[in-house]
Amino acid sequence: MTNDELFERARRVIPGGVNSPVRAFRAVGGTPRFIVRGDGPYIFDAEGKRYIDYIGSWGPMILGHRHPAVQAAVHAAVDEGLSFGAPTEREIELVEAILAQVPSMEQVRLVSSGTEAAMSALRLARGATGRNVIVKFEGCYHGHADALLVKAGSGLATFGHPTSAGVPEAVVQHTLVLEYNNVAALDEAFARHGKTIACVMIEPIAGNMNFVRATVPFMQRLRELCTGHGALLVFDEVMTGFRVALGGAQSLYAQAIPGFAPDLSVFGKVIGGGMPLAAFGGKRAVMEQLAPLGPVYQAGTLSGNPVATACGLATLREIAKPGYFDALAARTRGLVVGLLEAAQSAGVMLTADCEGGMFGFFFAAELPQNYGEVMATDRERFNRFFHAMLGRGVYLAPALYEAGFVSSAHTHDDIAATVAAAAASFAA
């Protein structure tokens, strides 16, 4: 069947024809591609067309598709059984592998999705502090839990309003939404509400308003305020964890800010290697507030699933090899530099940034620093560029607001082909 035929068939039985909204191509128009298989840096659609893949299942496929070591680990795990609902040694091995690279954490709880991990981390922060208010930033996405589906209020430090039907105002009445990279807003929020703030949750490098990184002064002030007011700093590294660096984004800020560390961290995507797996963790004193030791309840039937942990553990072992991230970062920088040079040659205004295996670009003169500035970039030009690249066999995120991902399976030839496609698209 063609992509069009499959989409029409899907729309009859699945809302919008997709099981996650951005897949529907609503932001860019056109028909989504129905993927039948992946191989290394490529995916293939129902019509047999090959694409160079810069989505990578929205981040997990850091090794590319069908990596031999990961495939072998998953096949072996499947042969042992799909799910037990009981502890396994591999759960311990995976958590130990995570802790070995993230010194801010002493204990970790495994779950099945980034949404579940973020939701549980917020509940834990509230339970550990005895406070209700949570702070998030406009443009940062932490999953679809009710309390996090919030748009900004009208002032620097006002509470937000639901962005989804089905979320009562009462559910978000304790969610404070601030502007990303705005130190003055931070200061005002803590001056007004510091005694009631349980935690601040942040994407250190936002990937859901494309690629926007928190500045070092902003992050340093955030850490100071949380420490001074007894609030927990929660790093959402679902996207950046084991993707921008082996130690995650927090390792980059620790290099710039002496003694820097978040209180809680949330991980997903790469640690599952493409299987449903996520985690949250922190210091022992906080994590032991969780059931069965403490009063904060959290549970999951498929948490620590034996097939998912096999996939994640094999992935982490590969990316922990010496030189892995240096090579990945160099490949990603090569892509970004190539895109910028191609745009400049065509007289197209473009700006871009990257870290590790994560990148983003905007049709704008300067890199945006917050959601409002992202919204001011040229969305229509992005949409035209997306379809021009898709037609030339390059699969980018079908929305201006999503970061892109390079895998270690992408070769220099793949990068060169992508830059050539971009040059032709810019010229058009």
Element (H, E) at 53: strand 50-53
Non-local CB neighbours of 20 within 8 Å, separated by 6+ positions:
none
Element (H, E) at 232: strand 232-237
Is the Cα dihedral 367, 373, 377, 380 positive or negative?
Answer: positive
CA dihedral 50, 421, 21, 67 (to 10 degrees): 50
Return the HEC string of 409-425: CCCHHHHHHHHHHHHHH
Non-local CB neighbours of 193 within 8 Å, separated by 6+ positions:
133, 157, 176
List of E strands, 316-357? 351-355
Non-local CB neighbours of 178 within 8 Å, separated by 6+ positions:
135, 136, 137, 138, 152, 156, 157, 185, 186, 189
Residue 292, preceding peptide bond in cis (omega within 30° of 0) = yes
Is the Cα dihedral 39, 44, 49, 55 positive or negative?
Answer: negative
Nearest-CA neighbor of 35 among 71, 67, 76, 6? 6
List of E strands, 90-165? 107-111, 133-137, 150-151, 161-162
Give me the count of residues in the chain: 428
Question: Is the CB of residue 105 less than 8 Å from the CB of residue 99?
Answer: yes
Question: Is the CB of residue 217 less than 8 Å from the CB of residue 186?
Answer: no
The residues annotated with a catalytic role in the active site are: 141, 236, 269
Structure tokens given for 380: 């229509």
Cα–Cα distance measured from residue 48 to residue 32, given in angstroms and rounded to the nearest whole number: 14
